[in-house]
Structure 1
Amino acid sequence: MRRIAAVILLLCLLAGTACGILITEFCPDPYLPRDPDEYLVLEGEGVLDGFVVSDGEGGFRFPPGTQISGRLVVARDGPAFERTHGYPPDFEIEEHTPTMPNVIPNGNLLMANQADELYLYRGTTLLQKVAWPADVHPREGQIHYLEDGVWDPRPLFIGQSRFPAATFEDVAVTAFAAPDCAYEVFGATVASAEREILVNVYEFTDRAMAEGLIRARERGVAVTVLLEGGPVGGIPPEERAVAGALNRSGIPVLMMTTTDVGHAKYRYDHAKYLVVDGNTVLVGSENYKPGGYPAPGLQGNRGWGVCLKDPGLAAYFREVFLFDTGGGDIVPLEGTGGEIHTPWAPSYTVEFAPCRTGGARVTPVLSPDTSHLITRMIEGAEESIAIEQAYIKNQTKYELNPFLAAAINASRRGVTVQVLLDSFWFNIEGDADNDEMVDLINRIAAAEGLPLAARLADLEGNNLAKIHNKGVIVDGRAVLVSSINWNANSPGFNREAGVIIEHPDIAAYYTRVFLDDWEASCAGGAGDVYGVDRLKIVAAACILAGLAALYLYRRGRT
Structure 2
Amino acid sequence: MRIPRRRRAHRVGLGALALLAVAGGDPPAPAAPAAPIVISAVFADGYAPGDGDEAVQLWNVSAAPVDLRGWSLDDAAAGASFPEAAILDAGARWWIARDAAAFARSFGHPADWAWAGTVPAAGTRRLATLRGGPTLANAGDTVTLRDGAGAAVDAAVYGRPADGAGWAGPPVLPYHPPGIAAAHQVLYRKLAGEPPRPAGDTDRATDWASDPADVRWGRRIRFPGWDVEAVGAPARAREDAAIEVAVAPDALFGFLARHLSAARESVDAMTYTFEHPALCEALAGRARAGVRVRLMVEGRPAGGIDMRQRWCLALLDAAGAAAYWLDAGGDVGPRYRGAHAKLFVVDGRTVLVGSENPGTGAAPDDDRSDGTLGRRGVYVATDAPSVVAWARALVARDLDPDLHVDVRPFQPRDPERGAPAPDYGPDRASGGAGYRPVAPAPLRARGPLAFEWVTAPENAVHPTAGLLGLLARAGGGDEVLVQQLDEPVWWGDGPAEGDAALNPRLQAYVAAARRGARVRLLLDGFFDDPVHWNSNAATVAFVEDLGRREGLDLQARRGNPAGLGLHNKMVLVRLSGATGNAVHWSHIGSLNGSESASKANREVALQVESEAVHGYLARVFAWDWAGSGANASWLPWVGARTAPP
TM-score, normalised by the number of residues in structure 2: 0.74
Q: Does the residue aligned with 2:378 lie in a helix, a strand or coil? A: strand
Measured against aligned partners, the alpha-carbon deviations of 1:455-497 in whole angstroms (never above 9, x if no partner) come to 111x3xx442110001101116101101111111111000011
Mapping of residues 126-141 of structure 1, within 5 Å? 126-132=152-158, 134=170, 136-138=172-174, 139-141=182-184
Provide the residue aligned with 2:53 in structure 1: 37
Q: Structure 2 CA distance, aligned partners of 1:87 and 1:284?
A: 30
Provide the residue aligned with 2:236 in structure 1: 167
Matched, 1:191 2:261: yes
Deviates more, 1:133-142 or 1:442-451: 133-142
Deviates more, 1:116-125 or 1:296-305: 116-125
Mapping of residues 262-411 of structure 1, within 5 Å? 262-295=332-365, 297=368, 298-326=372-400, 327-333=404-410, 334=412, 335-336=419-420, 337=422, 338-347=424-433, 348-352=435-439, 353-358=441-446, 359-371=448-460, 372=462, 373-382=466-475, 383-393=478-488, 394-395=490-491, 396-397=494-495, 398=498, 399-411=501-513
Measured against aligned partners, the alpha-carbon deviations of 1:476-522 in whole angstroms (never above 9, x if no partner) come to 61011011111111110000111001111111111111111111115
Q: Cα offset for 1:300?
A: 0.6
**Change in CA separation of 1:425 and 1:116 when aligned onto 2, cut-off 3 Å:** same
Query: Is contact 2:365-2:431 (8 Å) kept?
Result: no
Q: Structure 2 CA distance, aligned partners of 1:255 and 1:120?
A: 40
Q: Structure 1 CA distance, aligned partners of 2:309 and 2:324?
A: 12
Q: Structure 2 CA distance, aligned partners of 1:307 and 1:320?
A: 16
Q: Structure 2 CA distance, aligned partners of 1:222 and 1:33?
A: 37
Residue 102 (structure 2) aligned to one of 74, 80, 89:
80
Q: Structure 1 CA distance, aligned partners of 2:140 and 2:331?
A: 27
Q: Structure 1 CA distance, aligned partners of 2:134 and 2:527?
A: 54
Q: Cα offset for 1:108?
A: 5.3
Q: Does the residue aligned with 1:53 lie in a helix, a strand or coil? A: strand
Cα RMSD between the aligned structures? 2.4
Provide the residue aligned with 1:421 in structure 2: 523
Larger Rg over CA atoms? 1
Q: Structure 2 CA distance, aligned partners of 1:172 and 1:411?
A: 33
One-letter code aligned to 2:624: D
Moved over 4 A (4+): 95-100
Q: Cα offset for 1:47?
A: 1.8
One-letter code aligned to 2:452: T
Q: Structure 1 CA distance, aligned partners of 2:138 and 2:328?
A: 21
Q: Cα offset for 1:429?
A: 4.8
**Change in CA separation of 1:262 and 1:184 when aligned onto 2, cut-off 3 Å:** same
Count of residues in Structure 1 that have an aligned counterpart in Structure 2: 505
Unaligned runs of 5+ in 1: 1-17, 526-558
Matched, 1:71 2:160: no
TM-score, normalised by the number of residues in structure 1: 0.85
Unaligned runs of 5+ in 2: 1-33, 160-169, 175-181, 192-196, 200-207, 210-216, 413-418, 576-583, 633-645
Matched, 1:437 2:437: no
Q: Does the residue aligned with 2:564 lie in a helix, a strand or coil? A: coil
**Change in CA separation of 1:253 and 1:453 when aligned onto 2, cut-off 3 Å:** same
Provide the residue aligned with 2:141 in structure 1: 116
Provide the residue aligned with 2:567 in structure 1: 468
Query: Is contact 1:183-1:293 (8 Å) kept?
Result: yes
Q: Structure 2 CA distance, aligned partners of 1:463 and 1:470?
A: 15
Q: Structure 2 CA distance, aligned partners of 1:87 and 1:368?
A: 19
Provide the residue aligned with 1:546 in structure 2: none
Matched, 1:224 2:294: yes
Q: Does the residue aligned with 1:340 lie in a helix, a strand or coil? A: coil
Q: Structure 1 CA distance, aligned partners of 2:604 and 2:487?
A: 18
Q: Structure 1 CA distance, aligned partners of 2:131 and 2:473?
A: 52
Q: Cα offset for 1:46?
A: 2.2
Q: Cα offset for 1:379?
A: 1.5
Query: Is contact 1:54-1:109 (8 Å) kept?
Result: yes
Q: Structure 2 CA distance, aligned partners of 1:431 and 1:97?
A: 52
Q: Does the residue aligned with 1:210 lie in a helix, a strand or coil? A: helix
Provide the residue aligned with 2:22 in structure 1: none
Q: Does the residue aligned with 2:235 lie in a helix, a strand or coil? A: coil
One-letter code aligned to 1:367: A
Q: Structure 1 CA distance, aligned partners of 2:350 and 2:69?
A: 52
Matched, 1:455 2:557: yes
**Change in CA separation of 1:470 and 1:135 when aligned onto 2, cut-off 3 Å:** farther
Measured against aligned partners, the alpha-carbon deviations of 1:298-353 in whole angstroms (never above 9, x if no partner) come to 21101011111123322321221122122111112233242111235322322212
Provide the residue aligned with 2:317 in structure 1: 247
One-letter code aligned to 1:351: V
Measured against aligned partners, the alpha-carbon deviations of 1:59-87 in whole angstroms (never above 9, x if no partner) come to 33323554333333321223322333355
**Change in CA separation of 1:128 and 1:481 when aligned onto 2, cut-off 3 Å:** same
Query: Is contact 1:143-1:156 (8 Å) kept?
Result: yes
Deviates more, 1:20-29 or 1:87-96: 87-96
Measured against aligned partners, the alpha-carbon deviations of 1:368-424 in whole angstroms (never above 9, x if no partner) come to 122122211222223111111111122113432111111112212212211111111
One-letter code aligned to 1:113: N
Q: Structure 2 CA distance, aligned partners of 1:93 and 1:209?
A: 50
Deviates more, 1:226-235 or 1:307-316: 307-316
Deviates more, 1:367-376 or 1:123-132: 123-132
Identity of aligned residues (%): 29
Provide the residue aligned with 2:188 in structure 1: 145
One-letter code aligned to 2:144: Y
Q: Structure 2 CA distance, aligned partners of 1:141 and 1:466?
A: 36
Q: Cα offset for 1:109?
A: 2.5
